Structure 1
Amino acid sequence: MTEVLDAGPFFHGTKAELRVGELLAAGFRSNYRPEIVMNHIYFTALRDGAGLAAELAAGDGEPRVYLVEPTGDFENDPNVTDQKFPGNPTRSYRSADPLRIVAVVDDWTRQSPEALQGWRDRLAAIRDDEHGEIIN
């Protein structure tokens, strides 16, 4: 039996336009390191965290947040948990199994242009740092 890490609900942020019932799966390029094809699909239990991910995602589409349900086991996202921060304060997870889109979420907090630029600057600094590797 797998330990339940979080009861959710869970959210995924992206610029992809998807429909309820569709599956999100691993195997696509990272939004933060496009040279890396991801082995996992990432999600969070924080609606606004998914919104931030959507706004920072690669591409020109409109940022979107989806309510999702994991179809298999999942684990704490090691990119933001114990290996870099104690515990899991962002309630971020990853799975090798797909996530099913349950609903479109419209009530998430948008970032100001200044706040988004600050996040982009932090991500650029991580990319430039030899220790800023994505754990895939």
Structure 2
Amino acid sequence: MTRPLDAGPFFHGTIADLRIGDLLTAGRRSNYRPEIVMNHVYFTARVEGAGLAAEIAAELAGGTPAPRVYHVEPTGNFEDDPNVTDKRFPGNPTRSYRSSAPLRVISEITEWTRLTPEELQTWRERLADLLVSERGVIIN
């Protein structure tokens, strides 16, 4: 695995209530396909992307858990996320990555742009379409 040319900072969106120093590890169920145990931890260099992931995770969990965004630090090598790069989009416009090594929580980001109710509805519809189509296949 070669290290991409991105120095960060990096962010992870989730519904988990984490503390500084906690490690995010692979081996958890996918937010998008709970039947899949993920071989990687996913993150982005765009706080908005992490916010979107957090909002989607909260939505798929029934909207009760609070979406959270964390500033994270990779502890090992990482690569471009193939779920949103090359196979789906040319290059890596979302600056999205994955790692089989843990991510260390540096801090919680409390100021990020939340989705409007209309945007959340659009994502609900997109996710429903993805979950029943071949486009929703996760490259794990």
User: Which stretch of the first structure deviates more once superposed, 15-24 or 114-123?
Assistant: 114-123
Q: CA deviation at 1:4?
A: 3.8
Corresponding residue for residue 95 of structure 2:
91
Corresponding residue for residue 74 of structure 2:
70
3-state secondary structure, aligned to 2:136: coil
Normalising by the residue count of structure 1, what TM-score does the alignment of the two structures yield?
0.95
3-state secondary structure, aligned to 1:66: strand
Runs of 4+ in 1 over 6 A off after TM superposition: none
Corresponding letter in the other structure for 1:69: E
Deviations 1:93-112 (A, max 9, x none): 00000000001101110000
Corresponding residue for residue 19 of structure 1:
19
Q: CA deviation at 1:23?
A: 0.2
Any residues of structure 2 matched to 1:1-136 within 5 Å, and which? 2-57=2-57, 58-59=60-61, 60-136=64-140
Identity across the alignment (%): 68
Task: Please report the RMSD computed on the Cα atoms of aligned residues, expressed in angstroms.
Answer: 1.3
Structure 1 unaligned runs (5+)? none
Q: Distance in 2 between matches of 1:3 and 1:42?
A: 15
Corresponding letter in the other structure for 1:56: I
Structure 2 unaligned runs (5+)? none
Q: Distance in 2 between matches of 1:16 and 1:38?
A: 16
Contact 1:5–1:75 at 8 Å: present in 2 too? no
Q: What is the number of residues matched between the two proteins? A: 136
Q: Distance in 1 between matches of 2:78 and 2:89?
A: 19
Normalising by the residue count of structure 2, what TM-score does the alignment of the two structures yield?
0.93
